Amino acid sequence: MRHHLTHSFSLPFLWRGILGGLLCLLCGIMRVAQTSYIPPYAENVVRPGKLLPQIHVRLPQQAQDASNMTHRAMMDHCIAKIQSIKGRYPRRWYIGETADPNFRLLNPVFGHARNYSDMFLLIAAVLSDVTRPIEKTLIELYQSRNDFLLINEDPNAEGSRSGSPFFLYVCFAEANAMGSLLRRARS
């Protein structure tokens, strides 16, 4: 008796397999592409069309307002986002807080656009009392890790406290720029 190894695929079975695979892929993409939760008090600042194209929103994805998050949860969120933004390419970067991301990036005197290509908003809060301790802790953490490309020198620096909402942000130099590995000279 001869045995023939044959595969007979029925068309419905094949389509179910293809559609199932596409559905799994689509669910995975949608999970990755979830948008950040925008607290109501920050909508006016970060709604589409209001931010410069160099400013990216990376606020927590679950419907979590910073006022409902613990210090540890905010730190975990920021550390994860910083690591994913830094990637494998070392480059100069900065941690700060602002009530006006566009102005902070483009200000002719102290704007970040002179030294950095992108700004990422990590935390939004009504008051700087929420963002300032996170900023200080992050600076101290990365300084303790001897991250010499972090430009911040003093974790106790005091910026403007006017305006609302406040955003904790990080700025990064362009990954492929020749000067992205150089610390700028102190002025």
pLDDT in tens, 44-90: 888 778 899 999 999 887 656 677 788 899 999 999 999 999 887 78
Domain annotation covers residue 167: yes
Residue 164, domain member (yes or no)? yes
Q: At 178, is the pLDDT very low, low, confident or very high (cuts 50, 70, 90)?
A: low
Sign of CA dihedral 165, 129, 168, 105: positive
Q: Kindly state the average pLDDT of the residues 109-124.
A: 92
In a domain, 186, yes or no: no
Would you state the pLDDT for residue 35? Answer: 57
CA distance 72 to 76: 6
Q: Does residue 35 belong to any structural domain of this protein? A: no
Query: Per-residue pLDDT tens for 132-175?
Result: 999 999 999 999 998 889 998 877 766 666 678 889 999 999 87
Give the pLDDT band of residue 15 (cuts 50, 70, 90).
Answer: very low
- Residue 19 lies inside a defined structural domain of this protein: no
Q: Is 11 inside any structural domain? A: no
Residue 5 has pLDDT above 60, yes or no: no
**More confident site: 7 or 156:** 156
pLDDT at position 110 is: 87
The pLDDT value given to residue 100: 92
In a domain, 75, yes or no: yes
Residues whose CB is less than 8 angstroms from the CB of residue 177 and which lie 6 or more positions away in sequence, other chains included: 91, 117
Structural domain count, the chain: 1
Q: Is residue 85 part of a domain?
A: yes
3-state secondary structure of 172: strand
Domain of residue 69 covers 40-181
